[in-house]
Amino acid sequence: MKSIKQYAFAVAALALIAGMQSCKPKSAGSAVSGDAAAKVYVAPGKYDEFYNFVSGGFSGQMSVYGIPSGRLLKVVPIFSVNPENGYGYSEETKPMLNTSHGFIPWDDQHHLDLSQTDGNIDGRWIFANANNTPRVARVDLSTFHTAEIIELPNSGGNHSSPFITENTEYVVAGTRFSVPPDDKNGDVPINTYKQNFKGTISFISVGKEDGKMDIAFQLQCPGVNFDLSHAGKGKSHGWFFFSCYNTEQANTLLEVNASKRDKDFIMAVNWKKAEEYLKAGKGKKQAVKYAHNVYNEKTHTATSEIRTEVTVLDTKELKDICYFIPCPKSPHGCDVDPTGEYIVGSGKLAALIPVFSFDKIQKAIADKAYEGDYDGIPVIKYEAALYGEVKKPGLGPLHTEFDGKGNAITSFFVSSEIVKWNIKDLKVLDRAPTYYSVGHLCIPGGDTKTPNAKYVIAYNKITKDRYLPTGPELAQSAQLYDISGDKMQLILDFPTIGEPHYAQAVAASVIRDRSVKFFKIEDNANAFVSKGEGTTKVIRTGSKVDVYMTAIRSHLTPDNIEGIRMGDDVYFHVTNIEQDWDVPHGFAIKGATTGELLIMPGETATLKWTPDRVGIFPFYCTDFCSALHQEMSGYARVSPAGSTVPLTFSTGTNQPKADSTAAGTK
């Protein structure tokens, strides 16, 4: 009977959610108070106070905004090609998007986590997940370049990722979809989920100085869906917490079949213990295949390597690594407060928010206060781990951030609001509508030991009538609230790229002064660099033509190239020899099926072009770099296969002479 009741509840809850998906808060037209404009106004020429790094969702990129102005500062390509600056199109960056499946031009990017030292943001790197083809990226915040991407074996849907430990010892990634391990025969009936599917969590070590990532070990866990996670901090450093849903282990119609149980789990992981087992040689080497791609700022070139082994710890055999804690109901966000004592599980279908106590979890483990086990992993009694519940907070809790003053702010997707509550007494303090259907929240430093409780930013799923209509597809919306007072106050709407999920923000001073202004030309170790116009050249090797080209205001050297033949592959290796901040040059040639190049001062980038017809092909600089930018151009001549037109190149000297060239065109 109980299960029927539960089922009925699930269906009712789902109907409620389905019916309320675009629910409009009663006060949708609510006015923004008079001083809002002054609060978000950043005068021309003045800097914003915070950097806001925002995940791009289905755009695959990360965007960077200034807060409080909401001004878009940059789009950093990570997992999707970006023809705008040649990422994924230039020969140097193509390897960044290599995987064990080959080159992949797109992914779905949900979560970002800034590197930390002692639980505080250190401004060095930001990590990003790829949800679809499981990968984790590291972006270097001195260049705002994607510096490294590592693929994750034994995973499917890298959603519970990337989350870092308080000294960036590890970047941790849990699989959303459980799947058969990569070294097993995966050709099994889908309905053998319970027997054959496993959930894997990857611990990626991060080099202390250089940030280099490596899969230190993986934990093999029961087959469930890992949704989100956060590391313990302070007293709970050494532990990691994951929200788990589909503990029903359903493989079809998850909206019903994975919503049956009254409680799913938060999984607590003692990763220090896992490290001990690893040291003691308890890990098993497993044959797998995954790509590891690194961008080198000296050569301005990425390399990709396929790796073939990973070490796996079986959490069923190695008893005291994992513990399940019951959590109502299909938990999504899993957030740890600044002290590390409180772990908040946000059940999407729950009518309350449970807050778990780290101390109580430790005591429950010591006392073996278990209600049984789940697939060999002990399940701690709910009450034994629970600190308390926030009653009637709202509908559809998703994510929680902390203000560092003892309060939490939770987003509610269904009731379209953010709600502030006190962690100690679990009382609701304030609520403010969002427009509409809020997902993630961001308080600067909101998942660190020292949040900066000036603002909270809501990232909404639905925009509806907030902006001028732009056809069926509208920009997603971010909303900025001032939380410095008792009442949360909406002060700004700003549109975002792609679909934002998690975002992080940090005081501008932490990032600003690290920023590289240009690359030193003498340090350029690209294999095809031209360090000055005197070293430019065009070299034929069989059907490969390498053009060593320079760009400086306002010409390309060489700018006349003849002797290219049908069947050739032409590589334009363009070095920007400027040594000044903010003077990029671009390069594009008619008919190229790639993108453009956007080359920063001191950098070399390469565009591959395979001419498809005989003729004259203009090329030009695409970035308006000077008053004579329109003059920054040239021509390539393509002759038929077997033509005897000699390979020549020049700038300003007309080589070969006008008469002799005519022969080749007869």
Site string for ligand K7E, 325-364 (x = CB under 6 A): -------x--------------------------------
- Give CA 499 to chain center in angstroms: 12
Structure tokens at 369: 């206060």
Residue type, 657: K
The number of C-alpha atoms within 13 Å of 21 and in the hemisphere containing its C-beta is 6
Whole-number Å distance between alpha carbons of 451 and 205: 25
CB of 606 to ligand K7E, least distance (A): 35
Give the nearer residue to ligand K7E in terms of CB position, either 131 or 604. Answer: 131
Whole-number Å distance between alpha carbons of 316 and 220: 8
CB of 621 to ligand CUA, least distance (A): 3
Whole-number Å distance between alpha carbons of 312 and 154: 10
501 scored as a contact of ligand K7E (CB under 6 A) = yes
623 scored as a contact of ligand CUA (CB under 6 A) = yes
Selected from 179, 398, 529, 556, the binder of ligand K7E by CB under 6 A is 398
Q: Report how far apart, in Å, the C-alpha atoms of 113 and of each of 138, 378, 392 are.
A: 10, 30, 30
User: Please, are residues 503 and 442 in contact by the beta-carbon 8 Å criterion?
Assistant: yes
Whether residue 329 is preceded by a cis peptide bond, meaning omega within 30 degrees of 0, is yes
Site string for ligand K7E, 440-479 (x = CB under 6 A): x---------------------------------------
Whole-number Å distance between alpha carbons of 618 and 209: 45
Give the nearer residue to ligand K7E in terms of CB position, either 346 or 407. Answer: 346
CB of 159 to ligand K7E, least distance (A): 6
Q: Contacts with ligand CUA in 505-564 (CB under 6 A)? A: 551
Structure tokens at 184: 């097993």
CA-wise closest residue to 645 among 587, 568, 589: 568
Give the nearer residue to ligand CUA in terms of CB position, either 144 or 620. Answer: 620
Give the nearer residue to ligand K7E in terms of CB position, either 93 or 411. Answer: 411
Whole-number Å distance between alpha carbons of 450 and 327: 27
Selected from 145, 565, 585, 637, the binder of ligand CUA by CB under 6 A is 585
Selected from 24, 363, 540, 629, the binder of ligand CUA by CB under 6 A is 629
111 scored as a contact of ligand K7E (CB under 6 A) = yes
625 scored as a contact of ligand CUA (CB under 6 A) = yes
Partner from ligand K7E, ligand CUA, none binding residue 248, C-beta < 5-8 Å depending on class: none
Q: Report how far apart, in Å, the C-alpha atoms of 445 and of each of 115, 287, 338, 456, 558 are.
A: 11, 39, 10, 10, 50
Residue with tokens 């496993």: 198
Whole-number Å distance between alpha carbons of 168 and 416: 34
Give the nearer residue to ligand K7E in terms of CB position, either 410 or 594. Answer: 410
CB of 461 to ligand K7E, least distance (A): 7
CB of 129 to ligand K7E, least distance (A): 9
The number of C-alpha atoms within 13 Å of 520 and in the hemisphere containing its C-beta is 3
Selected from 114, 438, 621, 645, the binder of ligand CUA by CB under 6 A is 621
Give the nearer residue to ligand CUA in terms of CB position, either 206 or 632. Answer: 632
Partner from ligand CUA, ligand K7E, none binding residue 585, C-beta < 5-8 Å depending on class: ligand CUA
Residue with tokens 């997940």: 129
607 scored as a contact of ligand CUA (CB under 6 A) = no
CB of 397 to ligand K7E, least distance (A): 11
Give the total residue count for the chain: 666
Give the nearer residue to ligand CUA in terms of CB position, either 221 or 551. Answer: 551
508 sits in the region (left: phi over 0; alpha: psi -120 to 50; else beta) called alpha
Which uninterrupted H or E stretch holds 634?
strand 633-639
Nearest residue to the partner ligand K7E, using Cβ: 439
- Edge-first strand listing for the sheet containing 264-270: 225-231, 239-245, 264-270, 322-327, 377-380, 370-374
Whole-number Å distance between alpha carbons of 30 and 431: 14
110 scored as a contact of ligand K7E (CB under 6 A) = yes
Give the nearer residue to ligand K7E in terms of CB position, either 130 or 607. Answer: 130
CB of 569 to ligand CUA, least distance (A): 25
Three-state DSSP string of 100-156: CCEECCCCCECCEEEEEECCEEEEEEEEEEECCCCEEEEEECCCCEEEEEEECCCCE
Selected from 439, 446, 601, 611, the binder of ligand K7E by CB under 6 A is 439
CA-wise closest residue to 82 among 602, 640, 598, 567: 598
CB of 628 to ligand CUA, least distance (A): 8
Q: Phi then psi for 523, rounded to 5 degrees?
A: -90, -5
Site string for ligand CUA, 161-190 (x = CB under 6 A): ------------------------------
User: Please, are residues 332 and 187 in contact by the beta-carbon 8 Å criterion?
Assistant: no
577 scored as a contact of ligand CUA (CB under 6 A) = no
Q: Report how far apart, in Å, the C-alpha atoms of 154 and of each of 173, 282, 289 are.
A: 11, 19, 9
CB of 82 to ligand K7E, least distance (A): 22
CB of 589 to ligand CUA, least distance (A): 14
Partner from ligand CUA, ligand K7E, none binding residue 124, C-beta < 5-8 Å depending on class: none
**Which parts of this chain interact with ligand CUA (CB under 6 A)?**
551, 585, 621, 623-625, 629, 632
Q: Which parts of this chain interact with ligand K7E (CB under 6 A)?
A: 110-111, 159, 228, 332, 398-399, 439-440, 501-502
